[in-house]
Structure 1
Amino acid sequence: MSFCQSINVTKITQIEIVKLIGSIESYKPFAGRQLYLSTFITSNGSGSANMPETDETSFNILLCVAHYDQQPDYKLFSIGPFLYPKIIENRDSGDSIIVVIQHFDGLKKKKTEIIVTETNVKLVP
Structure 2
Amino acid sequence: MDLYLGIDVGSVSTNLILIDHQGELYLSPLYLRTQGQPIAVLKQGLALLEERLSATDRICGAGTTGSGRSLAGALIGADIVKNEITAHSVAALSQVPQVRTVLEIGGRDSKIIILKSGIVVDFAM
Query: Is TM more than 0.5 here?
Result: no
Q: Which has the higher strand share?
A: 1
Q: Which has the larger radius of gyration?
A: 1
TM-score of the two chains, using structure 1 as the length reference? 0.29
Q: Which has the higher helix share?
A: 2
TM-score of the two chains, using structure 2 as the length reference? 0.29
